[in-house]
Amino acid sequence: MDQRCAVSRKRWISSLFTEPFKGWGGGALLPIAFTIIFDIFPPEKRGKMSGMFGAVFGLSSVLGPLLGAIITDSIGWHWVFYINVPIGIVSVFLIARYYQESLEHRKQKIDWSGAITLVVAVVSLMFALELGGKSYAWDSVQILFFFAVFLVFGTIFFIVERKAEEPIISFWMFKNRLFATSQILAFLYGGTFIILAVFIPIFVQAVYGESATSAGFILTPMMIGSVIGSMIGGTMQTKVPFRRLMTISVISFFAGMLLLANMSPDTARLWLTLFMMISGFGVGFSFSLLPSASMNDLEPRYRGSANSTNSFMRSLGMTLGVTIFGTIQTNVLTNRLADAFSGMKGAPSQVGDPQAIFQEGARSQIPPDILNKVIDAMSQSITYVFFACIIPDCTCGDYGRIYGKCTGTHI
């Protein structure tokens, strides 16, 4: 599929027809990895190994987009897909050579009805949130239609899953408070952490005026912080109650996000680096703790389903987070620009592509008084989003306290 994406001459064609196949294959990697950990390692070693895998996940979440930007700028966007072909070949060899299992195999029945209804519901919600207030008014027929489709297919999904023999999401697991809380936290962490990976490079490029490559490298401190947090969380989860670890995670993530929300164009790069490390350290705990908590005290045959549900909730949070907070940032930016340029004849009041204005060639063409206003507007819109993310962070703290009342706080 990566090769098919690379040879496609039109990006929208590759995204429409080939990215779903890549998603189906790649989406299974993380759940399978954590399930294997629980199958082959004794309880006293699972925490350490979960921390290592969580650190790899956090590392790849930040390093992947950075490498993608470098490859696109230096070689071409096709190589973002081509580079995965040799990696896939090596992976297939390693799996065939070293991955041996002795399990009782039985025929599996794919829940096609659940998969289709879930995809339609989620995609409809994304279209409604992405197009609402931009291409169409919130009360327009198109947006109301997407919301209606989301509600209808979402309801059908819940009905179908309750009757399916092998459902995509086993709702009976949510009766376990530890499992249910882990899914909520995965959703909230996913929806806020991705905002940092998206908007901090934009802030560096647009406000500081640095190149796209330099803006990508700015995520390195957050990457380091997340790796450290994941390792500590994984190592200590068999020794320290889960509630205490989650408290450290939430406080650190909240503090880092609050500091980022108070940035301005005058904030030094050193301070931005520190703020990112604090945020990354806090969210890093979730990479190792939440998958382990999801599988805690479950029979081996349910571990894969539990872990895949946790991975799905995190991915869903990331998807909706980018859509919702991206819409907020665009609206705030538009309003700030309109206020800044009100009464100034000939000054722009709308920005189609915010990053285009801050490219090196375009930036030098903008008069200083206009440029400063645009920079302030961009800075305020991004920090506004960081401030809005504090609300989900506080919710994480509320749910984190529930872990203290659950059984199995030593995972």
pLDDT at 29: 65
pLDDT at 156: 92
Are both 259 and 295 inside the same structural domain?
A: yes
Dihedral sign of CA atoms 56, 122, 129, 174 in order: negative
Q: What is the CATH number of the domain that holds 264?
A: 1.20.1250.20
Are both 57 and 86 inside the same structural domain?
A: yes
Q: What is the pLDDT of residues 92-120, one digit of tens each?
A: 888 778 777 665 566 667 778 888 888 88
Consecutive 10-residue runs of the chain (411 residues): their mean pLDDT? Answer: 47 51 59 70 70 70 70 75 82 78 64 84 84 80 91 91 79 83 88 88 83 72 84 79 83 92 90 92 85 78 79 86 86 84 58 53 71 86 91 71 51 47
CB 376 within 8 A of CB 340: yes
CB burial readout 282-308, b (16+ within 10 A) else e: bbbbbbbbbbbbbbbebeeeebbbbbb
In a domain, 352, yes or no: no
Are both 210 and 323 inside the same structural domain?
A: yes
Q: Which residues contact 375 (CB under 8 A, 6 or more apart)?
A: 206, 207, 265
Are both 196 and 65 inside the same structural domain?
A: yes
pLDDT at 155: 92
pLDDT at 9: 45
What is the domain count for the chain? 2
Q: Facing residues of 52 across strands?
A: none
pLDDT at 31: 64
CB burial readout 28-61, b (16+ within 10 A) else e: eebbebbbbbbeeeeeeebbbbbbbbbbbbbbeb
pLDDT at 349: 43
Range of the structural domain that residue 147 is part of: 110-165
SS3 content of the chain, % helix, strand, coil (to 5): 80, 0, 20
CB 305 within 8 A of CB 295: no
CB 41 within 8 A of CB 68: no
Are both 24 and 148 inside the same structural domain?
A: no
pLDDT at 4: 46
